[in-house]
Structure 1
């Protein structure tokens, strides 16, 4: 049940950010839900591989390289979903930071830890 709540929260945040953040375009709520699903899959399966492969860069930058990895995952999601478009790398970086912060806050409010 918590998984569905987190998925819905992510979809709503993606949809809202696309309306307020220039350079991020989502056609409708269905596309935002698809983006949330694909981001969840990419974060589950691809992100650990990218983090492992970039351990030296992550250590040198004291963890800031993880922001770059998040932006790359957003751009990969943009590649796979035609209804989702991000205009550039900096937009993807800003979008990923806002998405992560929003998810943290709303998951803390709405998702139980039981």
Structure 2
């Protein structure tokens, strides 16, 4: 799971940079949103992949990655094909991302590492 999380962090970060480049050449809300989402969630996944071990970090990474892919995929479909990925894709992806961040809260509260005070 750790290797997959790291690979997805790179893919999502690259997607964010590519979308930012595309958005800089035109006036696209969708590409701007994809860039922001990719550049925010790619590094979060990188941190989870590097530091997170155990079931809860894996759940957080899965929710973040899947939510980001579904949300950005839906915006990309709307941008280039004029229709959604599937009905309710953007809200489902958003819910996944929110769930991932809330799982990170739980990871932090449950942390029992060597630097805990």
**Normalised by the size of structure 1, how large is the TM-score?**
0.36
More strand by share: 1
Higher Cα Rg, which structure: 2
More helix by share: 2
**Normalised by the size of structure 2, how large is the TM-score?**
0.35
Higher relative contact order (CA 8 A, sep 6+): 1
